[in-house]
Chains A and B, each alone.
Chain A
Amino acid sequence: MKKTTLWIGAILVGINVVIALLTLVWLPYDPTAMSGGRLAAPSWAHWAGTDRLGRDYFTQVMIGARIALTVGVGAALLGGLIGTTLGVLAAFAQRGFDDALAATLDILIAFPTLLLAMLVVAASDGASLGTAILAIGIAMSAIIARLVRILTKRVLAQDYITAARCSGLGWGRIVLVHVLPNIAPTVLVAIALQFGLAVIAEASLSYLGLGAPPPNASWGQLLQSAQSTVFNAPIGVIAPGLALMALVLGINFLADGLRDLLDPERGAA
């Protein structure tokens, strides 16, 4: 069952990755140009129909996959890097600094991502893919840092760390050789789950106009623009909605499967 979820997850994410990469070299239509009638129903020429300006929906959903993955991967890398670094430092820190950092992380976690995104947008030149990645990455880093801090403290309490110290290893090498490999499976699964949440957050930001600016066809933006025509042309909501659901479901399945695959007590001797 676990392997099945891993495979389903890999296939769903894989399809999105292939589509995202394909958009770099080929698109069925120009996403900004009228290629058919307004609000046309799905057909062989337009698999998901057209929007109210006559632009091909399927093309826009394909571009949406690229934006979702770009923001998801960017935020996951940023959040993972900052979170892991902060978490390891906090685990080694003296009590005062550790407490202060833990309190800061709690506040950051309680802070709504959307509000944080608005602050980032306000502090920068305007909404862009970069601000979306930054806002989601910062929010994600707090969650990862808190997890890494706890996991690192747990690993540092193990006898094999004391043995490593007695074997002449310095703290830097202990972190690289013993701590990171032992916390990696849990952290990777957490990052993967956060990746799914980042994709949803990106769609939310775009829906509110705080994500990738037009003409980038983010899924959130597609949902927002199709909102007024939902009863006349429901495909405009269904297509990006299904794509979003498939990607997030795929990421969650993949994370779940990875958790099992990376468990050291389950692998072959």
Chain B
Amino acid sequence: MSLISLKDVQFSYGDTPILHGVSLALEQGESLGILGESGSGKSTILRLMLGLTRPDTGVVEADGSVLDTRSRARMQAHRRFVQPVFQDPYTSLDPRMKVRRILTEPHAALDLPGDAEAEAARVLEAGGLPADSLDRYPRAFSGGQRQRIAIARALIARPRVLLADEPVSALDLATKVRVIELLTELSRELTLVLVSHDIAIVAALCPRMIVLQQGRVVEAGKTAAILRAPQHPYTQRLLASLQHMPMESP
């Protein structure tokens, strides 16, 4: 049974169709990359998986049952099951909260077991940050450190699925490498869904990938195979265009 899946999902923002019959499934411990250009529907897939929005048709299944976003109890359980990491580390942490409060907030809201302070220290260490970070505000940290705090916040619920939306695209090269190393380490224990328009990041983190074009999955399979021999013209164009661009690689 899949850990999390989308089955024939259609989704529109008003009159604008975003996703057309998207299906995908992830097993426990798997890492999936979602590659596509801006506006292809990548982030919408994450929002559906997070239960922040409902599909027009089709279903989202998580942990063996259909995700009913109207059920408070179901969503509370889902929050413990799946957690997000966002693209911009400068907008993903509340500037008026100390790191301690940022990390313990989900612990209290989700009624998680264990001591909140101890859990905050645990995830901070997992994120590779010093313990004295707890009493500082986000402004005291660099972009990469902020992203590590955001990852630490996601880990406090001990989720089984981590959804990362362009987690390194706002970072400089050196910081990018460190965050990718952290995500690689986490992907050994967690199921990871990584949304990116950067093929190199997807290749580094995800053995399996799908390619989205205007809300449709046009190619899916093993990352290495797709990179070696892309089948769909869109994927071929995407890869060809990347070869002509001066790109940073992790």
A residues bordering B, Cβ < 8 Å? 158-160, 162-169, 173, 177-178, 181-182, 264-265, 267, 269
For window 208-232 of B, CB contacts with A under 8 Å fall at none
A168 to B110 CA separation, bound complex (whole angstroms): 6
Pairwise interchain contact B105-A159, C-beta atoms closer than 8 A: no
* A264 near B137: Cβ-Cβ < 8 Å: yes
Once the chains bind, are B109 and A163 in contact (CB under 8 Å)?
Answer: no
Taken residue by residue from 31 to 57, chain B's Cβ proximity to chain A (1 for < 8 Å, 0 otherwise) reads as 000000000000000000010100000
- Tally inter-chain residue pairs, CB-CB below 8 A: 65
Instruction: List residues of chain B with CB within 8 A of the CB of A164.
Output: 94, 105
A264 surroundings in chain B (CB, below 8 A): 95-96, 137, 139
Tell me the complex Cα distance, A118–B106, Å. Answer: 51
The smallest beta-carbon distance between A260 and chain B, in angstroms, is: 15
Chain B residues, CB < 8 A from A168: 75-76, 79, 106, 109-110
Q: Is the CB of B84 within 8 A of A269?
A: no
The answer on a CB contact under 8 Å between A166 and B96 is no
Chain B positions within 8 Å of A, measured between CB atoms, are 50, 52, 75-76, 79, 82-84, 86-88, 91-96, 105-106, 109-110, 136-137, 139-140, 150, 153, 157
List, in ascending order, chain B residues with CB within 8 A of A167's CB.
79, 105-106, 109-110, 153, 157
Q: How far is the CA of A180 from the CA of B88 in the complex (A)?
A: 22
**B105 to chain A: which residues have CB within 8 Å?**
164, 167, 169, 177
Taking the closest CB of chain B, its distance from the CB of A180, in whole angstroms, is 10
CA–CA, A38 and B87, complex, Å: 75
CB distance from B4 to the nearest CB of A (A): 14
Contact between A163 and B52 (Cβ–Cβ < 8 Å)? Answer: no
Give the residues in chain B near A165, CB-CB below 8 Å. Answer: 52
Contact A182 B96 (CB under 8 A): yes
Question: Quick one: closest A residue to B110, CB to CB?
Answer: A168
- Give the complex CA separation of A165 and B214 in angstroms: 27
Residues in chain B near residue A177, CB distance under 8 A? 105
Closest residue on chain A to residue B77 by CB atoms? A168
8 A-B contact pairs sorted by A residue (CB < 8 Å): A160-B91, A166-B50, A166-B106, A167-B157, A169-B109, A181-B96, A264-B96, A267-B137
A269 to B138 Cα, complex, angstroms? 8
In the complex, the answer to whether B92 meets A159 with C-beta atoms within 8 Å is yes
Q: Who on chain B is nearest to A155 by CB?
A: B94
* B86 and A269 contacting across the interface, CB-CB below 8 Å: no
B91: contacting residue among A159, A173, A178, A181, CB under 8 A: A159
Q: Tell me the nearest residue of chain A to B85, going by C-beta.
A: A163
Nearest chain B CB to A32's CB is how many angstroms away? 50
Q: Chain B residues with Cβ under 8 A from A173's Cβ?
A: 109
